[in-house]
Amino acid sequence: MTDRVIITVAPTGPLTTRDDHPGVPLSPAEIGAAVAEAAEAGAAVAHVHARDADGRPTADPEVYAAIVGEIRERCDIVIQASTGVGLTVPWEERLRIVESDAVDVTMATLNPASMTFAGGTFSNPPEFVERLARAMHEREVHPELEVYDLGHVSLCLELVADGLIPEPLQFSFVMGVRGGMPGDPGLLPMLRSMLPEGAIWQAIGIGRAQLPLSFAALALGGNIRVGFEDNVYFARGRLADSNAQFVRRAVQLVQAAGREVAGPEDVRTRLDLR
């Protein structure tokens, strides 16, 4: 409970569209500006997805590189590339995000299993998971282990036992996706108990689960993620003004919980990022 709270902003995601929120950032410049505003508000990590010129999810390393460049021109936030990308993008293409020298990031996501995701299939076959973990290890990109169900924790720990995932471990509990765990704060103590000592974790609540899971994570010593990828409503029936508005509220929650907000250097130190 003494560690400062890491606030991650997820400004875009693979599924949120302009129909969901007219202000969702899609181009590299828009994402860069949104992340910089969120960083000024208190976010220490940016979880980024790339979109093509038509707004569709893409794993093109050049687009990711452009996003990284736009962010770095504006702020010093820790950049985390999503390798989830989107349900329609083949895993062979998603692998290029980490394998490419063009994408200079210190963190990336790793999903340990395939699953039903809303109305589609999120494909993460064992071959892809192992190749992705090895690529991260070789390029010194620190994995964020994304857990959508209880069984995913043990799959992640098998990768740790095989020497493919370095410590300190970083877990994300993604809750509220149809096909995964429900957005029930009561599950967090069980999930936390499954982690090795010293592991760092955050709660990611989808839609209406975002705020109650943020409260619960702070009470249990965890970290939180907010942003348009997960939720576009700041209150019932009211769209958020920006990603930064979510971050500012997260800072207020951290302070109300008697904890402090982490900066990018805190993250780099705690996760031993290059």
Rounded distance, CA 70 to CA 238, Å?
29
Q: Which domains does the chain have, with CATH numbers?
A: 7-270 (3.20.20.70)
DSSP-derived 3-state class of residue 238:
strand
Dihedral sign computed on CA atoms, order 110, 208, 149, 249: positive
pLDDT tens figures, 90-117: 999 999 999 999 999 999 999 999 999 9
Both tokens of residue 196? 């090795």
pTM over 0.75: yes
pLDDT tens figures, 207-216: 999 999 999 9
The pLDDT of residue 2: 61
